[in-house]
Structure 1
């Protein structure tokens, strides 16, 4: 096994956050996945790096020795990416990337214009598909990298956060909640919902947040499950129900007064979008340039 950036990033986050659970939340990974990567790092060095106590994680002497090197390594990688991305303006390149539905249909189209103006020599071929298809094409070297709505656990891939999004409550014009601005969670669950299918990134984030708030997602009156954000929007617009999706996907309908974006009191559905690529392959400079551009130009809805 070779030492890699991903494992150092996880170790550093665990050490800084003081617990596996807090690190898992910050990295948008499962706690077992974080534990597995730490164990692999300990196997690599042949030394215990962390010791669990009753309330937090403590560093062993080996862990204390590794921590400043991990910090320096992460900083050096970021500086290297930024420094080398400047040369992309002098290069011609073609990026082949995949993006999951919400990212590919509603987020990236608004980012590609400014990117193309800044880096006209770089052309982009974008495929919009589900996460499973993106993983398959990356592994088969048909795509340079992918952008997905949840971290991917795959032995051959690196998954890194790129940009943040936040889901919101969406209601049709004329709905009883319309015009309220902010509503309580109890008000919300008294109305029927139209949702993305189970297993989608959007549905997963919504259910995780409800669980954290002590609300069983089964209490939601799910009147319809649909396989695309576009279909969900159409159903909500027709008055079938309300939903929770990315506001980036309803900008047009909001402007026309067909749909309204509301806040749920004391509830935030924040999530990260992730880049995934092969561990065994260095990303080409145009790809690093594009990812750096996404990180440095926060997406706003």
Structure 2
């Protein structure tokens, strides 16, 4: 059995007008096409759906049984067409922790205010988690804190970010200008391996130190902020992550000596080469987060 939506549409229209002639006019089909579609539907079901009374078609018990189900199917089809006509499919994003926790919330709030009914799914993990999810097509797009060189993925610059070395207000490092030697002997509290922030800190900062003292590795930025605040060491995170603490004075930026100066990095968006970027996704990415 291969019942078509067109056959159900013809059936419903004939029921409303009691005539294949009027139904053909409403559907912009020939009368013969309407009659053929109705005959095919009745043939597949093995019953007559209408009683022929003169030139009129009067629905019978079989037609009444089919009608509500046919209407429900046609309404669901219309909903599907409308959903994709407006490109309202769910967006599936995966962001590294700094981006997901400190950059995307403002973007999501603005996006939700303007598009309150569009479904959106956000997962947060470290950069390697994001890359794996994009490779496996589990998400539409990933946002990470460093470039990705996997050949099956397209990596594009998204935002610029600044990293800050910071300490508790009472840290000895704040009593005099920091040097490479003093930074090397300070206890460092850093993100775990696999984190985009850790990769950039290793490359931009720690590679300039003759040695460095690892106090501990922690899996999220909030834990690092609290550990530094309690005098357990110094760290380096995005300025966006510690902006509130710097403003309140509970954490203090350590000015860096040459040749370190300002630590800048680029945040990237990644997607699979075979992934189509929908209009809804491009619309979301057009929102620019605050610096």
TM band (smaller chain): 0.5 to 0.7
Query: Are residue 146 (structure 1) and residue 138 (structure 2) matched?
Result: no
Instruction: Output aligned runs, 1:60-209, within 5 Å.
Output: 92-178=88-174, 183-209=178-204
Q: Structure 1 length as normaliser, TM-score?
A: 0.60
> Cα distance, 1:171 vs. partner?
0.6
Return the match for 2:283 from 289, 296, 300: 289
Q: Given that residues 197 and 225 in structure 1 are in contact (C-alpha distance below 8 angstroms), is that contact kept between their aligned partners in structure 2?
A: yes
Distance 1:139 1:194 in 2: 31
Q: 1:235 to 1:193 in 2, by over 3 A?
A: same
> Cα distance, 1:116 vs. partner?
2.9
Distance 1:93 1:178 in 2: 51
> Cα distance, 1:288 vs. partner?
1.2
Q: Given that residues 100 and 147 in structure 1 are in contact (C-alpha distance below 8 angstroms), is that contact kept between their aligned partners in structure 2?
A: yes
Question: Could you say which residue in structure 1 is the equivalent of 2:253?
Answer: 261
Query: Are residue 272 (structure 1) and residue 247 (structure 2) matched?
Result: no
> Cα distance, 1:113 vs. partner?
2.0
Q: Structure 2 length as normaliser, TM-score?
A: 0.62
Q: Given that residues 191 and 242 in structure 1 are in contact (C-alpha distance below 8 angstroms), is that contact kept between their aligned partners in structure 2?
A: yes
Unaligned runs of 5+ in 2: 1-85
Q: 1:190 to 1:139 in 2, by over 3 A?
A: closer
Query: Are residue 222 (structure 1) and residue 218 (structure 2) matched?
Result: no
Q: 1:157 to 1:203 in 2, by over 3 A?
A: same
Q: Given that residues 153 and 273 in structure 2 are in contact (C-alpha distance below 8 angstroms), is that contact kept between their aligned partners in structure 1?
A: yes
For residues 99-157 of structure 1, what are the alpha-carbon distances to aligned partners after superposition, in whole Å with 9 as ceiling and x for unaligned?
A: 01111111211322233334445442110022333233333332111101111222321
Distance 2:136 2:183 in 1: 44
Question: Could you say which residue in structure 2 is the equivalent of 1:56?
Answer: none
Q: 1:299 to 1:179 in 2, by over 3 A?
A: farther
Q: Given that residues 104 and 289 in structure 2 are in contact (C-alpha distance below 8 angstroms), is that contact kept between their aligned partners in structure 1?
A: no
Q: Given that residues 93 and 121 in structure 1 are in contact (C-alpha distance below 8 angstroms), is that contact kept between their aligned partners in structure 2?
A: no
Q: Given that residues 140 and 275 in structure 2 are in contact (C-alpha distance below 8 angstroms), is that contact kept between their aligned partners in structure 1?
A: no
Distance 1:230 1:203 in 2: 15
> Cα distance, 1:272 vs. partner?
1.0
Question: Could you say which residue in structure 1 is the equivalent of 2:231?
Answer: 239
Q: Given that residues 93 and 140 in structure 2 are in contact (C-alpha distance below 8 angstroms), is that contact kept between their aligned partners in structure 1?
A: yes
Distance 2:245 2:92 in 1: 31
SS in 1 for 2:172: coil
Question: Could you say which residue in structure 1 is the equivalent of 2:244?
Answer: 252
Q: 1:247 to 1:211 in 2, by over 3 A?
A: closer
When Rg is computed on C-alpha atoms for both structures, the one with the higher figure is 2
Bigger drift between 150-159 and 163-172 goes to 150-159
SS in 2 for 1:104: helix
Q: Given that residues 162 and 291 in structure 1 are in contact (C-alpha distance below 8 angstroms), is that contact kept between their aligned partners in structure 2?
A: no
Distance 1:94 1:151 in 2: 26
Q: Given that residues 138 and 278 in structure 1 are in contact (C-alpha distance below 8 angstroms), is that contact kept between their aligned partners in structure 2?
A: yes
Instruction: Output aligned runs, 1:37-48, within 5 Å.
Output: none
Unaligned runs of 5+ in 1: 1-89
Distance 1:201 1:94 in 2: 26
